[in-house]
Amino acid sequence: MKYIRTNSLKRLFSLKLRSLEEATSPNGSKGVENNEVLKNVEAKEISPRPTWKCFSYEEISDATNAFSSDEDLAPLDWKTRYKRTIGTARGLGYLHKGCQRRIIHRDIKSTNILLTLDLEPQISDFGLAKWLPSQWTHHSIAPIEGTFGHLAPEYYMHGIMDEKTDVFAFGVVLLELISGRKPVDDSNQSLHGWAKPILNLGEIERLVDPRLRGAFDVTQLKRLAFAGSLCIRASPTWRPPMNEVLEVMELERQIDKERWKMVEEEVDEFRGFEDLEYECNTSFSISPHDSISTASC
Active site (catalytic) residues: 107
What lies within 8 Å, CB to CB, of 215 at 6+ separation is 77, 78
Query: For residue 143, is the peptide bond before it cis, meaning its omega torsion is within 30 degrees of 0?
Result: yes
Query: Is beta strand 50-55 parallel, antiparallel or unpaired with respect to 160-161?
Result: unpaired
Q: 191: exposed, middle or buried (C-beta count within 10 Å: 0-12, 13-18, 19+)?
A: buried
Dihedral pair phi/psi, residue 250, rounded to 5°: -105, 5
CA distances from 248 to 43, 251, 252 (A): 55, 5, 9
For residue 94, give the DSSP letter. I
Amino acid symbol at 102:
R
Q: DSSP letters of 194-236? A: HHHHHHHHT-GGGGS-GGGTT-S-HHHHHHHHHHHHHHT-SSG
| Closest by CA position to 290, among listed 108, 147, 177 | 147
CA distances from 195 to 89, 202, 225, 251, 258 (A): 20, 11, 10, 22, 21
Terminal C-alpha separation, the chain: 24
- The CA distance from 207 to 29, in Å, is 72
